[in-house]
Amino acid sequence: MRDNPLVLHVLGARPNFVKAAPVVRALDELGVRQGIVHTGQHYDALMSDVFFADLGLPEPIANLGVGSGSHARQTAALLTGLEDVVLEHHPSLVVVYGDVNSTLAAILVCAKLHVPTAHVEAGLRSFDREMPEEVNRVVTDALSDILFATSPEALSHLAREGVDPERMHLVGNPMIDSLFSALPKLDPAPVQARLGVPGRYAVATLHRPANVDDPESARELVDAVLAVAERVPVVVPLHPRGRQRLADAGLVNRENLSIVDPLGYVDFLSLVRGAALVVTDSGGVQEETTMLGVPCLTVRPNTERPVTVTHGTNRLVTPAGLPAAADKALADGSSTPSGELPPLWDGAAGPRIARVIAAWLRGDNLSPAAKGRVS
């Protein structure tokens, strides 16, 4: 083992920052040398900088500034930029998060350079290969050396795909750690006052390509959101991806519908905490509403996070089914099938991940294959 090994975290998009913060903090407490590489996949201040500030993440040691593009172009820029960074810094371990293009590119680069990797949020599956994220998940897990799972069913998905159980660790959910840390700061009132949101309201977030990229799907979705706005005022902190197409489909400011810029982490979760209902197609928001006990209607045909349905407040809906589901959720309030949070969603996932990484860096419990690759 190299003296004073370096751990690099590759982060690129909004949900990565939220998942990484508790891991970075816990590794810091264990005295592990580490650095963040920001790929620049997300670059607007409200999609990136605000998260570093809200989550207390340290300045990145590099920002690749890859920006936006088609999958191939963006991934190509990520690959070349990340290869340079890995060759320059010689990390002992690279940690990747979630399922975005930055995650996939980092795993591919490290696999080719024989640099060991860890994947936080391994094993989630929607079984829908039309989702770009599903492709990223499958490839990332196939190439990762250490796999950190947020829920038990992820372990069985990985086992079915032939992952050695010794490489898997059920650690809980670092996105929920971040939420635990933020809880004392979550106050809806000031955000409501600033945005002019009344006492009872719903929050909606929409950005999945399947919902927002095709004009016909966008129109169907917007019609459904407008129907919800007839029942309860809706505020939509709108991701830049869908902005124009959803506006063209009629998602514009009007009575009971407020379209705002994406919100910072603390502001957004404050608003969610006070909401009567959340409508979303986000992955992370399904988990956060489960933790906060806020009814969540996910406008998708599937979810890679079924524990949010079995143990949480989440329900899958079609656009056509959204208004009736909203009526029911608004009448029933929060109800969870099991009354319990998913296992290990206790705010301690970051420290669990850090302990496994620190032990791995010391050379404890290394599989022969992994040992051969640590220089």
What positions carry a catalytic annotation? 207
Q: Does 263 bind ligand UDP (CB under 6 A)?
A: yes
By CB under 6 A, tell whether 285 contacts ligand UDP: yes
Provide, rounded to whole angstroms, the least separation between the CB of residue 234 and ligand UD1: 20
Strands (E), the chain: 6-11, 33-38, 62-63, 93-97, 117-122, 146-149, 168-170, 202-205, 234-237, 257-260, 277-280, 296-298, 314-316
Q: Which of 283, 295, 319, 350 binds ligand UDP (CB under 6 A)?
A: 283
Q: Read off the tokens for 221.
A: 């979705």
Dihedral of CA 45/48/50/53: which sign? negative
Residue 285 interface partner, choices ligand UD1, ligand UDP, none, CB cut-off 5-8 Å depending on type: ligand UDP
**Residue 350 interacts with ligand UDP (CB under 6 A): yes or no:** no
* Contacts to ligand UDP from residues 75-134, by CB under 6 A: none
Helix (H, G, I), strand (E, B) or coil at 254: strand
Q: Which positions from 236 through 255 interact with ligand UDP, judged by CB under 6 A?
A: 237, 239
By the criterion CB under 6 A, which residues form the site for ligand UD1?
13-15, 41-44, 47, 68, 74, 99-101, 132-133, 207, 239-241
Count of residues engaged in binding ligand UDP, rule: CB under 6 A: 16
The three-state secondary structure class of 62 is strand
Q: Name the minimum Å distance from CB 45 to ligand UD1.
A: 9
Interacting residues of 239 by C-beta distance below 8 A, sequence separation 6+: 205, 206, 207, 262
Q: Is 268 a residue that touches ligand UDP (CB under 6 A)?
A: yes
For ligand UDP, which residue of 15, 188, 342, 350 counts as binding (CB under 6 A)? 15
Which of the ranges 13-21, 25-33, 72-80, 329-337 carries the binding residues for ligand UDP, by CB under 6 A? Answer: 13-21
**Least Å distance between CB 46 and ligand UD1?**
8
H or E element at residue 266: helix 265-273
- Which CB, 239 or 352, lies closer to ligand UDP? 239
Bridge partners, residue 297, by sequence:
279, 315
Q: How many CB atoms lie within 10 A of CB 15?
A: 22
* Dihedral in degrees, nearest 10, Cα atoms 265, 266, 267, 268: 50
Contact residues toward ligand UDP (CB under 6 A) are 14-15, 18, 205, 237, 239, 262-263, 265, 268-269, 282-285, 288
